[in-house]
Structure 1
Amino acid sequence: MSDIPLFKQIRGTAVEGGKKILMVNAIYSSVSVPEHQGNILIEALPPFFDAEPPIEKLAHRPPYDVSEKNASTLYRFNALERIKVMLETMPWHIEVMYQVMRNLWAGYARRNPLKDLRAVAEERYRKLKEANQIDVIADPVPAHASMFGLLGGSGLGKSSVVHRVLSFLPQVIKHEKYAIYQLVWLKVDCTTNGSINDLILWIIQAADRALGSNYESLLRSRSTYPERVAVAVKIFRDHYVGLLVLDEIQNVMEIGTGRIKDNFFTGFPNIGDTPIMHIGLPIVLARMPQTLHPLRRLADDGITPLGVQMELGEWALYLDELVRYQWTQESASIEEIADVMGELTQRIPGLASRLWQIAQARAIESEAKFAYYQSRKLELDEPPIKKITGDLLRLLAEKYFKPVMSLLDRVRLGKTDDLGNYDAKLKEVGDAIEGAIRQAKLAAQRSRIKDAAREGGAKQIIIHATGILLSMGEKEDAVMRVLPSLAAKNPTGGVQWLIVEYLNLKSGSSNEPRNVDDLEKRVVEEMNQDFARHNGKKE
């Protein structure tokens, strides 16, 4: 494989297109399943079927300590990011893990690169002829690669769960002894308004990113569907792709009909000889080619159907973990917010986590604002938000959930049969809340920034005034002692005001007669001379 110019050898961790390419060197372990023995593609994988499945590790609970409530404003704003990656294990997560592992292992069981099928068949044939018997010459193989799916509403965490499951597997394994670079899994995110022909190109590009290869260079600028499929199949066969995951598959089903779409869903899994997992909305089934073949295969190999909202038991588990992450002054109990969170988000975790984030961002911002006003001995009309309340959640949901209000209303009424593709609207909500959190973070820091700038400006004024007073013959120790206190009395006063005030104070303490006009005139003249000196002009 190393002599193929379009495949670049990888040593450890490389960087390709700004992304890290992670690869491991193969370590082989014996396996107990008979059909897996002697298969390097399986022996190099983690021992999923020879050890306890890592069910307890499916959850991802970011670190949290109650002492973080006393951390700085910026620290707490950054801590809110942890909410987005929190994952609590649900029963269907375990089912997805078993589906992924079972299909991947089963796909590899019949693809042993060290097994010479022709030699095996010839040997069996020879023995049968010698014995004058009739028996099977070739081992049975499935008629097609498996095709399975995870279909459910947006915001339930489908993509996050699959990504978590895949994280238990290395993506690329280098079998140096056999010159094989095994691509264990390949996940492709389907963007909006793509065609099946676009999808094949995305598959090739995703493989290039994972391997550090350049198979895309084999394509013409306007390559056809068959040409792209040929390159994709070459990748799948040369690199023994174990599983292809197509996320948001409904997006590529909105464009195109007929032969190409039918060919992909019925033919590609066979010629690529790789299990395919579809992740998407329930409308995927309605947009499948209306032949029985792909629909039957999806049903046979397993669809994990989800609704548009969490079941009550799942929601209780999720919410119990979510409310643990609070960085406000006081913590809200789950009893205080459970009902209102369920009502406002309709048990859609993608909305619940966003609402929980923005509520805390608002509270942290109000705390910072209140603290600043107190430090300046200023009055503030509103008290700080010390903890999350039902009223705060309702106010924020009313503001930020407008794009999905019609969806939430239909879910409340149980009209969930044909909700369509509402991914874009959920993304709009997420983007708006992300922007609002950034603005809240800036607002919380803005007062301090202004103070710092003001302090910096005051220091410059004192330095400038000190220089002029020294050039006027004033004593340095007296000037340095008095000017800071004078400047603090009038932060908006300029250099001229500060010098005049100093000279007034000095003449007042020495009982010398003062002529304010003469004094100001003298200061202006001295400032003009100082300006001329520093700008290279003659006086």
Structure 2
Amino acid sequence: MNNLAQYTPSPIPDYAGNPLIEALPPVLAEMDAARAIAHFPALAPDERLFSKELRLHCVDRLKDLIQPLPIHLELESAVSSILRTGYVSRNPVNAGTWRHLHTLSTNRRDLALFHSSASTFSLVGLSGIGKTTALNAVLSLYPQKIVHCRYEGREFLHTQIVWLKIECPFDGSLSGLCHAFFKALDKALDEPGRHSARFRSKGGIMEMIHSMEQLASTYFIGALVIDELQHLNAAKTGGKENLLNFFVNLINSIGIPVVFAGTNSMINLFADVLRNARRACGQGMYDFRQPSEADAAWNMLVDVIWRYQWIQKPAPLTPELRKVLYDLTQGVTDFLAKLMILGQRYAMQANIETLNEHVFRHIADTKLKLLKPAIAALRSGDTAAMKRFEDLLPPDEQLDALMRNESSVSINQLAALHINKAVNVIAEVPQVRAERPEPDAVSQVSRKIASDADPHVALAEQGWLAKDVLEFSDTYHAVT
């Protein structure tokens, strides 16, 4: 989908006269940002009257619930700022910007007098705490692709990629990062294979890096978001430093803001090199901390998610149930959503049709039992144990498997279905008495010969005996 540029002049002098900034949506007030980020799925009262099968589908809407929290608004403000400030030094109206692009294309950066205005920030937190969901919600406030045609009466044909989000490769390699970049860029441009098929590693990693930097500049990428940065811990010797230095080069030499997101273990990556640590915290580090049981934001989230009950006997949210929900999730939002979804599924399929402590603890001990070691580490409050939280989590594939909807129909019920159907079929088949067919003439002659005192004579009388033993031979017919 092409978003044609519509320009809104900015009252901020630094932003004025810059088509890349003026084509962005307006800067939002906090409450406007909260309304834009929020997503509250529909829940009509009469849906609780639906059949169990239909209500099981409705429960899955909880996966899409987004309740804005204060940190969402801080994140929105940070993204809004780095996008605009990053474009200040890359104004396409200025001749210096095109000189900079030319030096990048010829790889003669020593001739460029370029002063980057790009900044950066980091986003850290526990797995499942809501980092990626929050980041995606904020990025969705901006069109990813903007097509420019004319600006201030002059022809300005250009495609602007406002943001690009990629995941750090599992092996923490530069080549893997480049491949991920090319694929993400093709997706943003809606041109599959345009760059990912063209730029291979045959020419060497340096050629891929140069191509990546050039494309990032050519499309005026507003911000490059690197998620799952903790994968750098798996990089080979020297790999971390190479990749971090590459990011620093993007910010300083290319002028592209970079946002880093990952788990708490990511912090150590930047602590190794102070220079990288300072740059990674250009606009601060946003920490999605584990909330306490009394945290106001956590309790607001529990209040909101509790309203989404498709069971036939909705339960009130008591202080005791609040304690149970926190105890079984330890404030991890993804665990809370899973507990509410699976709890309602179980209540429906077991014909309980209400939520209580028994239901939640049953789910924790069965469907979510793989999460128990990780939750126990958080519950302990022990620093050493809590550092092992990520290692104790099951793989993503197993987490996805936990959410599969299982049938509540027993084997006996399925067997009874076959028996009942077989009985009905037998009852419906009409009982028809078989009638003996009338014997034909040949059959009558055969029986007469068989009952004769001398069957041989009877066969001869009927002409059924061959007089010449060779009368059916091919050789006989050939010579006669």
Paired positions, count: 411
Alignment check: 8 A CA contact 1:23 1:170 kept: no
Superimposed CA distance per residue, residues 34-68 of structure 1 (whole angstroms, 9 cap, x where no aligned partner):
22122111111111169974223322111112221
Residue of structure 1 in register with 2:355 after alignment: 388
Query: The residue matched to 1:245 in structure 2 has which SS?
Result: strand
- Do the aligned residues in 2 keep the contact of 1:68 with 1:76 (CA within 8 Å)? yes
**Would the aligned equivalents of 1:204 and 1:231 in 2 still touch at CA under 8 Å?**
no
Question: 1:92 aligned to 68, 71, 91, which one?
Answer: 71
1:148 aligned onto 2:121: yes
Match of residue 317 from structure 1: 300
5 Å matches for 1:1-400? 22-48=1-27, 53-117=32-96, 143=116, 145-177=118-150, 178-213=156-191, 214-258=194-238, 260-288=242-270, 290-309=272-291, 312-335=295-318, 336-367=320-351, 385-400=352-367
Amino acid at match of 2:71: W
* Distance verdict in 2 for CA 1:149–1:423, change over 3 Å: farther
Partner-residue secondary structure (3-state), 1:328: coil
Which residue matches 2:455? Answer: none
Conserved 8 A contact 1:403-1:425: yes
Change (3 A) 1:414 1:118: closer
Task: Using the TM superposition, name which of 261-270 and 39-48 deviates more.
Answer: 261-270
Q: 1:359 to 1:180 in 2, by over 3 A?
A: same
8 Å Cα contact 1:147-1:277 kept in structure 2: yes
- Looking at structure 1, the residues matched to 416 and 161 of structure 2 have their Cα atoms a distance apart, in angstroms, of 55
Identical residues among aligned pairs (%) = 27
* Cα distance change on mapping 1:53 and 1:445 into 2, 3 Å: farther
Distance 2:217 2:98 in 1: 20
Superimposed CA distance per residue, residues 247-268 of structure 1 (whole angstroms, 9 cap, x where no aligned partner) = 1111134212425234323223
- Residue by residue over 1:168-204, the C-alpha shift from the partner in whole angstroms, topping out at 9 and shown as x without a partner, is 1101011134221110111113353342321121011
Aligned residues: CA RMSD: 3.0
- Return closer, same or farther for 1:52/1:317 CA change in 2, 3 Å cut-off: closer
- Which amino acid in 2 is paired with 1:200? C
CA distance in 2 between counterparts of 1:444 and 1:156 reads 35
Structure 1 residue 454: deviation in Å? 7.4
Pick which of 452-461 and 27-36 moved more.
452-461
Provide the rounded CA distance (Å) in 2 between the counterparts of 1:158 and 1:452: 48
Rg: which structure is higher?
Answer: 2
SS class of match (1:30): coil
Q: 2:126 is paired with a residue of what secondary structure?
A: coil
Distance 2:382 2:332 in 1: 15
The residue identity in structure 2 corresponding to 1:184 is: V
TM-score (norm 2): 0.77
CA deviations 1:504-533 (Å, max 9, x no partner) are xxxxxxxxxxxxxxxxxxx4x46x99xxxx
Distance 1:109 1:50 in 2: 22
What's the secondary structure of 2:406's corresponding residue? helix
Does the 8 Å contact 1:151/1:281 carry over to 2? Answer: yes
SS of 1:355's partner is helix
2:281 is paired with a residue whose SS is helix
Q: Structure 1 stretches of 5 or more lacking a match? A: 1-21, 121-139, 368-384, 473-522, 530-539
Task: Give yes or no for contact 1:153–1:309 (8 Å, CA) kept in 2.
Answer: no
Looking at structure 1, the residues matched to 97 and 120 of structure 2 have their Cα atoms a distance apart, in angstroms, of 28
Q: Alpha carbons of 1:50 and 1:303: their partners in 2 closer, same or farther (altered >3 Å)?
A: closer
* Structure 1 residues 448 and 286: alpha-carbon distance in aligned structure 2, compared to 1, 3 A threshold: same
How far did residue 420 of structure 1 move? 5.6
TM-score (normalised: structure 1): 0.69
**Alignment of 1:412 onto 2:395:** no
Select the residue among 416, 434, 442 that pairs with 2:403: 434
Deviates more, 1:71-80 or 1:208-217: 208-217
Structure 2 residue ranges without an equivalent (≥5): 100-112, 151-155, 438-480
Q: Are the aligned partners of 2:377 and 2:389 in contact in 1 as well (CA < 8 Å)?
A: no
Alignment correspondent of 1:18: none
Judged with a 3 Å threshold, the aligned counterparts in structure 2 of structure 1 residues 51 and 91 are, in CA distance, closer, same or farther, namely closer
* Matching residue's letter, 1:161: A
**C-alpha distance in 2, partners of 1:306/1:233?**
31
Aligned partners of 1:328 and 1:360 also within 8 Å: yes
Cα distance between partner residues in 2 of 1:197 and 1:153: 27
The amino acid of 1:183's aligned partner reads: I
Instruction: Kindly report which structure 2 residues correspond to 1:382-531, keeping only aligned pairs within 5 A, or say none.
Output: 385-416=352-383, 418-419=387-388, 421-422=390-391, 424-425=393-394, 427=396, 430-435=399-404, 438-440=405-407, 443=408, 465-466=429-430, 523=433, 525=434
Deviation string 1:379-412 (CA, Å, 9 cap, x unpaired) is xxxxxx1201101211210223333323222222
Q: Distance in 1 between matches of 2:142 and 2:382?
A: 39
> CA distance change for structure 1 residues 49 and 319 in 2, over 3 Å: closer, same or farther?
closer
Superposed CA offset, 1:442-474 (max 9, x none): x359999888877876776566x24xx5xx5xx
Instruction: Say which SS state the counterpart of residue 265 (structure 1) adopts.
Output: helix
Matches of 2:329 and 2:118, distance apart in 1:
39
- The amino acid across from 2:307 in the alignment is R
Q: 1:237 to 1:388 in 2, by over 3 A?
A: same
Give the letter aligned to residue 164 of structure 2: L
Secondary structure in structure 2 of the residue aligned to 1:347: coil
